Amino acid sequence: MIKIMKYGEVANEDIFAREEPTTNVAPIVAEIIADVRENGDKALYKYCEKFDKAKLDSLLVSEKEIAEAVSLVEPRFLDILERAAENIRKFHSKQVRNSFIINDENGIVTGQKIIPVDRAGLYVPGGTAAYPSTVLMDSIPAKIAGCPEVVMVTPPSADGKVNPVILAAAKVAGIDKIFKVGGAQAIAALAYGTESIPKVDKIVGPGNAFVAEAKRQVFGKVSIDMIAGPSEILIVADGKSDPRFVAADLLSQAEHDRMASAVLVTESEELAKAVSDELERQIPLLLRADIARESIDKNGKIIVADNLYRAIEISNEIAPEHLELCVDNPFDYLDSIRHAGSIFMGRNCPEALGDYFAGPNHTLPTSGTARFSSPLSVDDFIKKTQYTYYTREALNRVAADVGFFAEQEGLTAHAKSAVIRTEE
């Protein structure tokens, strides 16, 4: 049963505690990465047979396989994928940055170029659930950024095939190449390249503990989006909220993972009790009831605060991945929220809208990192290069100042490189 706490009557460490993973997979991941670096495709085929029980003839998904997969997907779902993709494109197209040039003084030009990364790599999980939503969310911003090539890796099933809905989403998103490989070995392949899989400049996408650790270990060789922790939702709800809706929204994240965190903060003790009762009614009805049960029992919390503004203070301290504001006039509170990955406003905006359809990205900072990081966006797939131009006359006007500045740092060669150009 979910824990109910009264803010101010229990220790803050209990209010703000987060369950941390304890399994250390770093040595295993390091071995896998080294093996892939040394043996390339041979290592990938070996791990595919070992972990996925699939004996493959090729790592690359063929056009024929993609067409076959699309034919197996319900037409209604294909239509929904297209509509969701259009919403995602509409939202992310507003994030496009422009290069700029400043020419506001005689003989001086400065500027900045916006350049997409050459190749982006997308990891899509397999296993207990397929996530076509991840395909759309993580590849469409890369395409909008102008990446020349987007490649995807995803583990196959034992028959050597990729889940059809994953391939259908990849087709809708316009992904250039798809490879049948998962786990830490897939991250290693993207980071270092193999005979079949090209090395990329940026790796994005969620995965299990082995994938997260692999991303951590290859960071620096390539860029990554983030190290994703367990899923989180925090709901700020007033006493007029429907406990059925609040409980259902908490469970929408609890069913993800036994480590997932579902938190309600409310000023209403009556709502707190009603939501607790409703959770007990709804959990047994879920397909993933055992996962949701453990998540709620271990990491779920209901925090009773004095008022809604205190509830938002608590939310800012937790800095949740997903924040729902189940209140009247939610825009009145928006400016008070400083730390949250994505905010869902009002009583008719379940977090699931953001997972699948609304348009804002669902790849979000977890584990409190919303205090300093942001949702995946077009910015993740660009880099900025700056440039400077001075005429001889413009340099002459400031060379002595540049030289003097450099001397204050004890860097006389720096000083000389500026001053020497003004000497006869």
Distance CA 219, CA 33 (A): 12
Written as six digits, the tokens of 384 are 């900025």
Whether 414 is catalytic? no
Catalytic member of 213, 322, 351, 362: 322
Alpha carbons 161 and 71: distance in angstroms, whole number: 14
Q: Judge whether 321 counts as a catalytic residue.
A: yes
8 Å CB contact between 418 and 403: yes
Cβ atoms within 10 Å of 148's Cβ, excluding its own: 10
| Three-class DSSP category at 397 | helix
Among 65, 255, 267, 321, the one annotated catalytic: 321
d(CA 272, CA 250): 13
How crowded is the C-beta side of 68, counted as CA atoms within 13 Å? 8
Do 107 and 390 meet the contact criterion of CB atoms below 8 Å apart?
yes
Q: For residues 114 and 98, is the Cβ–Cβ distance under 8 A?
A: yes
Which residues are 10's β-sheet partners?
A: 7
Our CA angle for 191, 375, 339, nearest 5°, is: 130
The set of catalytic residues is: 321-322
